Structure 1
Amino acid sequence: MEKTKTSNTLKLILFCALLGAVSGAVLWIFLRIIHFGTELLWDRLPGMIDAPVWYPVAVCTLGGAIIGVFRKHFGDYPQPMNVVIGTVKKTGTYPYRKIVVLLIAAALPLIFGSSVGPEAGMIGVIVALGCWVNENLKFAKENANLYSKVGMAVSLSVLFYSPLFGFFSAVENEDEPTTNENEKPDRNSKLLVYGIAIVSSLGSMTLCNHYFGKVSEGFPSFEGVQPNRWDLAMMIVYLISGVLLGLFFEKSEIWMEKLSKIIPPVLSEILAGLILGCVVTYLPVVQFSGESQMAILMTDYAEYAPLAMIGIAFLKILITNMCIHMGLKGGHFFPVIFSAVCLGYGISLLTFPLDAAHATFAAAITTAATLSVSLRKPLAVTCLLFLCFPVQMGVWIFLAAILSNQVTRSKKHEKKA
């Protein structure tokens, strides 16, 4: 019995290592397609045709129409991470026969400039890939839930260049322990599997980047700063501001979800594209997930008026939720990080004009507070923010995440009472 259990565990580890490697390559190909599509549509083509000022309106509206028709015929994809995981828990699989549909559905909003991130679509693709390999190899189908967590861990690790974030996201979404120890791995085996799959996927992505070219620079990194007494005195202001932005994200989610139920399919996507195009015509910084815009922001933030920066933060949140709920779907982590950094910069410019050190500290605290409202996992938030903030700021980021989490948790308990 013990020998059989050990053999199954070894097979599982080998299988997940292979799944991680394949997933890393698939993610590289996906990001390469996105890079090519956006460069062609938003950089090369406008120069070739001497694009008029209304070019973004036309492209975003056309993109909305294409996405709307595609979703009407092929299904409501991509789906959020919790829906993907929930589907696997309920049915034991994910519709892998639609993997091409999942890839196209994930790619179209990103190429047409939607204000969303890539993680939502790619988690569904990687989970579907794991389910397809699993069922076709006839290997341990009872581990489908585990493969969905592996897919989530791999996708988040690669897309965010943060293995710790991917690992803790999977761990914090663990199922209850099974009563049949011969069918499913124990907790220690699961942790090992997550780690091996993540390392394997990052290795595969690194090899693809080395031999075929890097597909994404990720978020730019802030320089390390040492907060002084004025920064610490302002910390409560940054915390409150970040929490308010996080609560605005949740509230605008509700608004946009209600609006999406009123407007019929296809028309909803067209309207979202039209609004997005009109906004980005005058504020291009609101477009896309926020990675490249962050690099520009870090060097040119002093050129923006403080109140304009704060306004952009809330507008970006609103546009992102509009895109997600009205059909131009994707993830929200990248846009929320960008919005929170804008908010921190704006408040810093009001109090410490043209001081990069103060601005970086403000951005770190507001971002940690904002993400904690929705994630409610201080450790995962801290690991995620190592994506762009230095490790030496981890203590302050973790403290901000804990405090914000406690405040919002208390507020929810009061509502329930």
Structure 2
Amino acid sequence: MKRVALVGYGFLLSTIIGVIAAVFLILEGFTSELVWSSNNRLLESVLVIIGSFILYYLLKRWPDLPKTSQDSMRELKLNKTIDYHDVFFNLLITLVILSFGAGVGPEAALLSAIISLSIWQADKLRYLYFQYDELKKLPLHETLKRLFNPFKFQQKYVGANAPKIPSVIKQKRILYPVFIVNGILAFGLLIRQTDQPSFIIKLGQSNWQLVDIWILPVLMVVGIIFGELCKLFYKVFHMWIRKNNLPLALKVGLGAIVIILISYLAPDLLFSGQHSLNLLISGWSHKSVGFLISMGIIKLLFLDWCLNFNWRGGHIFPITFAAMIEGFAMAQMLPNFDRLFVVAIIATTIMSELISPVVAGIFIMLFFPLKLTPIIILVAILMYLKNKIGFKKKSVTKHG
């Protein structure tokens, strides 16, 4: 009976986590539409200014938010647990940032929230496991009150108290992935039922030929140079920010000013870019090389500006969008080659350079036809080896 109770409780909690993630994205779409649907640039500018005041107030109250997944993982490694009591404030601040047009993605705060809530789920399950006999003696309403109290009646992980029975350990290893899948299913079902737009857009078909493979290293070199220049700029810009130590109010205000400028000059670059990829095969398909290169660079600059001026969020979607733009620009310059073949190589290389080859490989594959999967994997592997060799050289130089 105890095992049944734990499994059922785990399924319920993982469903709640999936629903929270879906509701966050649904709210983000609704509030963004509310702010930007008037087609009145002056009104939208006023709303962004109001949004900056709201953000400033929230950041004054919770200066360590919003958290990213890296922040949560760092906290978990350091403390063996996570303080999940601020998870909804984390999502609230991110909701404000995303709704008012910042050029960042939802994935950082969303992954951070999922990590925190997963620790919460584990603590709740651990409480049920260790207190099961006591809970059985309580009236049903009192038992339910304890199990469904969101911030009380948890049990933190303590290595000395962890079950050592092999069968229990085996069950945990099986059940946790099952709970994760259940949460993903709950998330996907709610997203589908509410007709949310998909961020995955297939960019078309490819007819690349093996004879074209010779251009792969050339395109990778171009992508690497572009990525290295971006990293150099980011490094200099970050040093300038740290050196000047600007007050919070000024940083938030400067972020708002650039959002307003982008809304006038290049409104398609607002937000993360996750729903703008269709532009590359529709409205921007006949744009000039210069236009596309400029849009990709501006998107990356806009992202870094937002991240450094406290309009923080995820960087995967914006970098994906910018890398794709640069890929289509290069494809325009090489009309004799398969367009998506060129785009896939450039986009995977730039993303590998700016994020990681693993993320780039997995993410880029979602948007391209199956025929290009081997090329994307090959580029990701080559970039992984390049980074590994580069890291070893730096270590030798440092200790030599």
Between structure 1 and structure 2, the one with the greater Rg is 2
- Equivalent residue for 2:318? 335
Asked whether the equivalents of residues 78 and 124 of structure 1 are also in contact (C-alpha less than 8 Å), the reply is: no
Asked whether the equivalents of residues 310 and 342 of structure 1 are also in contact (C-alpha less than 8 Å), the reply is: yes
Q: Distance in 2 between matches of 1:342 and 1:201?
A: 33
Q: Does 1:393 align with 2:372?
A: yes
Superposition pairs of residues 374-413 of structure 1, within 5 angstroms:
374-378=354-358, 380-413=359-392
- For structure 1, the residue ranges without an aligned partner over 5 or more in a row are 1-6, 143-176
Q: Deviations over 1:255-297 (max 9, x none)?
A: 4433443211121011012123213311122211112211122
2:84 to 93, 96, 103: 96
Asked whether the equivalents of residues 106 and 314 of structure 2 are also in contact (C-alpha less than 8 Å), the reply is: yes
1:32 to 17, 26, 29: 26
Q: Deviations over 1:77-112 (max 9, x none)?
A: 122211111112222332322233112112111101
- The Cα of 1:326 is off from its aligned counterpart by 1.4
Q: Distance in 2 between matches of 1:11 and 1:408?
A: 47
- Paired AA for residue 376 in structure 2: I
Q: Distance in 2 between matches of 1:240 and 1:11?
A: 56
Asked whether the equivalents of residues 115 and 319 of structure 1 are also in contact (C-alpha less than 8 Å), the reply is: yes
Root-mean-square deviation (CA), in Å?
3.3
2:120 aligned counterpart, secondary structure: helix
Q: Does 1:313 align with 2:313?
A: no
- Equivalent residue for 1:23? 17
Q: Distance in 1 between matches of 2:167 and 2:74?
A: 20
Superposition pairs of residues 200-215 of structure 1, within 5 angstroms:
200-211=182-193, 213-215=194-196
- Paired AA for residue 88 in structure 1: L
- The Cα of 1:361 is off from its aligned counterpart by 1.6
TM-score normalised according to structure 2 size: 0.80
Paired positions, count = 365
Q: Distance in 2 between matches of 1:182 and 1:402?
A: 39
- For structure 2, the residue ranges without an aligned partner over 5 or more in a row are 131-158
Query: CA, structure 1 residues 217+413, in 2 after alignment: closer, same or farther (shift >3 Å)?
Result: same
1:281 aligned counterpart, secondary structure: helix
Q: Distance in 1 between matches of 2:14 and 2:364?
A: 23
- Paired AA for residue 86 in structure 1: R
Q: Distance in 2 between matches of 1:199 and 1:293?
A: 28
- The Cα of 1:56 is off from its aligned counterpart by 5.0
**Structure 1 stretch 366-375 or stretch 29-38: which is displaced more?**
366-375
Query: CA, structure 1 residues 391+188, in 2 after alignment: closer, same or farther (shift >3 Å)?
Result: farther
Query: CA, structure 1 residues 140+413, in 2 after alignment: closer, same or farther (shift >3 Å)?
Result: farther
**Structure 1 stretch 17-26 or stretch 106-115: which is displaced more?**
17-26
Percent of matched pairs sharing the same residue: 20
Q: Distance in 2 between matches of 1:136 and 1:181?
A: 15
- Equivalent residue for 1:235? 216
Q: Deviations over 1:328-350 (max 9, x none)?
A: 11101111111111011001111
Q: Distance in 2 between matches of 1:230 and 1:185?
A: 55
Q: Distance in 2 between matches of 1:183 and 1:315?
A: 56
- Equivalent residue for 2:111? 123
Superposition pairs of residues 155-170 of structure 1, within 5 angstroms:
none
Q: Distance in 2 between matches of 1:103 and 1:205?
A: 16
Q: Deviations over 1:286-324 (max 9, x none)?
A: 211112211122213333210221222222112112211
Q: Distance in 1 between matches of 2:125 and 2:178?
A: 20
1:366 aligned counterpart, secondary structure: helix
- The Cα of 1:31 is off from its aligned counterpart by 0.9
Q: Distance in 2 between matches of 1:366 and 1:14?
A: 47
1:41 aligned counterpart, secondary structure: helix
- Paired AA for residue 70 in structure 2: N
- The Cα of 1:364 is off from its aligned counterpart by 1.3
Asked whether the equivalents of residues 134 and 141 of structure 1 are also in contact (C-alpha less than 8 Å), the reply is: no
Q: Distance in 2 between matches of 1:194 and 1:133?
A: 10
Asked whether the equivalents of residues 323 and 347 of structure 2 are also in contact (C-alpha less than 8 Å), the reply is: yes
TM-score normalised according to structure 1 size: 0.77
- Paired AA for residue 28 in structure 1: A
Query: CA, structure 1 residues 299+237, in 2 after alignment: closer, same or farther (shift >3 Å)?
Result: farther
2:284 aligned counterpart, secondary structure: helix
**Structure 1 stretch 300-309 or stretch 326-335: which is displaced more?**
300-309
